[in-house]
């Protein structure tokens, strides 16, 4: 059904009759069961994975549960705790329901304590296959070269496609042959070799040559690439590509010097990347290159092109930053680069805890880092960080003048960042550094966070776009703007957000994009961005909320 217009009407249960807290059922009593089918028939002996999602939204592989389907294609997990999980069928050659850009490792499933989820169906499809051979100008096989796929989205744009399940098969074998399987139906372009611009990937350090990118059937021009249409269970054979002559890679070397004295500065990490049309850093290649005691450095394995060199802020205790040094690689090595080191500013303070902490052990502060993220996009917009000492102190160095937001990493289970203070006054958004200023007396205050928000998203007045994926974000009112929690909305419209501090929170909902948005999707996204709902989260038990989205309303009603 087409969506004509949309606005949101958010309703919550009870309190102002809108929210309520309830006692949790016993933990470890939830059950998830279902059936795996292929064209309606049961699929036996297929591995099923059930994996909890961490607070940051990533899969927790250390807690992966596995089982296999029986002769009737049925599976069952029991003794589950309340959590948000990713569930998928691990069946090579078949397409599981998890094969979407935002759920590459599983389909979101929200489980409550004591809940029994039955008759869950995982419908598999046979994946498509693209296979061929890569040879050089002398018809010799090109071995261990990466084969790249680009898949057309709903707007007709081609985006890089990589499936985590078959990534190891994206290279040619000793015969130059490749076979890409488990591909969803769609239109694809196939290429090999290195793109001219990052992030296509710089060839691994130590390689002396590379192949320029060549698209099937044998053109360097993507516009002339042949489009391959893959259907369920189909196989496109003889997708052969003949590459041109290998090109030489080059090095760029130089020295880091003090911007004021001109003397060498050793021991600092340096990095490089490519600029966009405005001259700002567009793609950054992480590396472990450190200038020696004389300030000398060398970047290996560079393709011809334009680059920026700069002092890298990756790692802690870097006292310097730099403006970028542009350079261009042609058909020879580059030498004589000069990166001017500027002694940066600093933010220092402590991490503190407040409130009753008896319910959970105090974390090991030495595992915590405080990150300063620039509020504006400078030429080199990279985060700075510092490790927290055992006594709770931290000092972030090498900062340029400007505004920064602060946030801890990783997030602490059972605790939340309640507020950030400077000289005893709370700050919500950014901390500004003036030229020559070193900011001290910053405090990150943590408190207990054992609240749980469980919710249901319900659409009325129409149907949402088929296959849409949504995410909920929750932020504490009056707290730091960087301390947001969130969770995916599963196929049943359910979500759960854990480790919330007691108090008032703002709930928002976002549409996750898997392709370039259409006009209707853009309008939907715009309206969702305008939506927010306040909810008071209890300090214990679960607070429940229902979000009712009325698709029949007109915009701005």
Q: What is the pTM (predicted TM-score) of this model? A: 0.74
Please report the pLDDT score of residue 63 as a whole number: 77
User: Phi and psi for 528 in degrees, rounded to 5?
Assistant: -65, -35
> Mean of the per-residue pLDDT values for the chain?
82
* β-pairing verdict for 41-42 and 47-52: unpaired
Confidence of residue 542 (pLDDT cuts 50, 70, 90): confident
| pLDDT at residue 6 greater than cutoff 60 | no
What is the C-alpha separation between 383 and 306, in angstroms, rounded? 23
What's the whole-number mean pLDDT along residues 220-244? Answer: 94
| pLDDT at residue 489 greater than cutoff 50 | yes
DSSP 297-308: EEEEEEPSEEEE
pLDDT digits (tens, 9 = 90+) for 459-475: 887 777 776 788 899 98
What is the C-alpha separation between 409 and 65, in angstroms, rounded? 27
Q: Is the dihedral of CA 295, 296, 300, 304 positive or negative?
A: positive
Please report the pLDDT score of residue 161 as a whole number: 83
What is the C-alpha separation between 305 and 303, in angstroms, rounded? 6
Confidence of residue 479 (pLDDT cuts 50, 70, 90): confident
Query: Token digits for 350?
Result: 């402590």
Percent of the chain clearing pLDDT 90 (strictly above):
37
Kindly report the number of other CB atoms within 10 A of residue 557's CB atom: 11
| pLDDT at residue 102 greater than cutoff 60 | no
Please report the pLDDT score of residue 82 as a whole number: 87
Please report the pLDDT score of residue 526 as a whole number: 77
Which region among 66-70, 207-211, 258-262 has the lowest average model confidence (pLDDT)?
Answer: 207-211
Query: Token digits for 506?
Result: 């703002």
Confidence of residue 291 (pLDDT cuts 50, 70, 90): very high
| pLDDT at residue 290 greater than cutoff 80 | yes
| pLDDT at residue 166 greater than cutoff 60 | no
Please report the pLDDT score of residue 388 as a whole number: 92
Please report the pLDDT score of residue 11 as a whole number: 31
- 410, 365 contact by CB (below 8 A): no
Determine the length of the chain.
557
User: 39 to each of 17, 43, 96, 414, how far by Cα in Å?
Assistant: 46, 10, 13, 44
- Residue 158 pairs in a beta bridge with 152
Considering only CA atoms, which of 1, 3, 8, 2 is closest in space to residue 529?
8
What's the whole-number mean pLDDT along residues 300-325? Answer: 83
DSSP 170-228: SB--TTSEEEEEEEPSEEEEEEESB-SSSSS-PPPTT--EEPBPEETTTBS-GGGPPPE
Please report the pLDDT score of residue 52 as a whole number: 86
Would you give the DSSP letter of residue 269? Answer: B
pLDDT digits (tens, 9 = 90+) for 427-471: 877 899 999 999 999 999 988 888 889 999 988 877 777 767 888
| pLDDT at residue 204 greater than cutoff 90 | no
Please report the pLDDT score of residue 345 as a whole number: 93
Task: For residue 125, give the 3-state DSSP assignment.
Answer: strand
Considering only CA atoms, which of 118, 167, 169, 173 is closest in space to residue 141?
173
Please report the pLDDT score of residue 106 as a whole number: 65
pLDDT digits (tens, 9 = 90+) for 14-72: 333 334 444 545 677 899 999 999 988 999 999 998 988 765 555 556 678 999 999 99
pLDDT digits (tens, 9 = 90+) for 346-362: 999 999 888 775 555 56
Q: Which domains does the chain have, with CATH numbers?
A: 26-124 (2.60.40.10), 128-247 (2.60.40.1120), 249-343 (2.60.40.1120), 345-448 (2.60.40.1120), 451-550 (2.60.40.1120)
| pLDDT at residue 203 greater than cutoff 90 | no
- Residue 59 pairs in a beta bridge with 53
What's the whole-number mean pLDDT along residues 274-286? Answer: 74
Helix (H) or strand (E) holding 520: helix 519-529
What is the C-alpha separation between 166 and 162, in angstroms, rounded? 8
| pLDDT at residue 176 greater than cutoff 60 | yes
- Residue 129 pairs in a beta bridge with 235
pLDDT digits (tens, 9 = 90+) for 182-202: 888 899 999 998 876 544 345
Task: For residue 169, give the 3-state DSSP assignment.
Answer: helix
pLDDT digits (tens, 9 = 90+) for 106-152: 678 899 888 999 988 888 888 899 999 999 989 999 998 989 999 99
User: Phi and psi for 366 in degrees, rounded to 5?
Assistant: -65, -10
What's the whole-number mean pLDDT along residues 296-317? Answer: 83
């Amino acid at each position: 059904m087409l969506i004509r217009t949309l606005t949101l009407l958010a309703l919550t249960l009870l309190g102002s009759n809108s929210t309520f807290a309830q006692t949790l059922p016993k933990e470890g009593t939830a059950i998830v069961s279902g059936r795996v089918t292929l064209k309606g028939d049961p699929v036996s002996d297929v591995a099923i994975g059930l994996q909890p999602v961490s607070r940051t939204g990533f899969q927790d592989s250390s807690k992966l549960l596995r089982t296999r389907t029986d002769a009737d294609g049925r599976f069952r997990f029991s003794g589950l705790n309340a959590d948000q999980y990713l569930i998928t069928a691990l069946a090579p050659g078949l397409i599981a329901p998890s094969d979407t850009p935002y759920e590459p490792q599983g389909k979101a499933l929200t489980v409550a304590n004591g809940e029994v989820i039955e008759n869950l169906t995982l419908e598999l499809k046979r994946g498509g296959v693209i296979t061929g051979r890569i040879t050089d100008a002398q018809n010799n096989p090109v071995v261990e070269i990466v084969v790249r796929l680009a898949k057309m989205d709903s707007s007709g744009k081609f985006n890089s496609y990589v499936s985590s399940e078959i990534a190891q098969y994206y290279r040619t074998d000793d015969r130059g042959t490749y076979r890409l399987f488990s591909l969803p139906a769609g239109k694809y372009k196939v290429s090999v070799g290195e793109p001219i611009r990052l992030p296509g990937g710089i060839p691994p350090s130590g390689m002396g040559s590379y192949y320029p990118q060549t698209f099937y059937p044998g053109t360097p021009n993507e516009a002339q690439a042949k489009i391959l249409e893959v259907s369920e269970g189909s196989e496109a054979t003889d997708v052969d590509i003949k590459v041109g002559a290998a090109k030489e890679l080059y090095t760029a070397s130089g020295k880091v010097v003090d911007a004021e004295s001109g003397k060498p500065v050793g021991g600092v990490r340096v990095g490089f990347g490519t600029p966009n049309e405005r001259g700002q850093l567009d793609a950054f290649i992480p590396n472990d290159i450190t200038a020696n005691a004389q300030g000398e450095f060398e970047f290996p394995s560079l393709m011809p092109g334009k680059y920026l060199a700069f002092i890298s802020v990756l790692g802690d205790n870097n006292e310097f930053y730099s403006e970028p040094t542009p350079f261009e690689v042609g058909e020879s090595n580059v030498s004589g680069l000069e990166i001017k080191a500027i002694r940066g500013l600093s933010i220092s303070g402590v991490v503190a805890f407040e409130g009753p902490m008896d319910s959970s052990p105090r974390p090991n502060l030495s595992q915590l880092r405080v990150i300063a993220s620039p509020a504006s996009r400078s030429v080199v917009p990279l985060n700075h960080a510092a490790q927290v000492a055992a006594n709770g102190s931290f000092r972030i160095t090498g900062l340029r003048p400007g505004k920064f937001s602060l946030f801890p990493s990783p997030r602490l289970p059972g605790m939340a960042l309640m507020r950030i203070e400077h000289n005893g006054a709370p700050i919500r958004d950014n901390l500004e550094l003036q030229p020559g200023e070193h900011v001290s007396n910053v405090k990150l205050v943590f408190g207990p966070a054992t609240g749980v928000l469980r919710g249901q998203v319900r659409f009325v007045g129409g149907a949402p776009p088929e296959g849409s994926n949504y995410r909920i974000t929750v932020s504490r009112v009056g707290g730091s703007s960087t301390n947001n929690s969130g969770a995916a909305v599963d196929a049943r419209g359910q979500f759960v957000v854990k480790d919330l501090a007691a108090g008032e929170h703002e709930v928002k909902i976002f549409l996750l994009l898997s392709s370039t948005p259409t006009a209707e999707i853009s309008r939907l996204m715009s309206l969702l961005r305008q939506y927010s709902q306040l909810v008071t989260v209890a300090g214990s038990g679960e607070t429940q909320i229902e979000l009712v989205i009325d698709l029949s309303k007109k915009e701005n009603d």
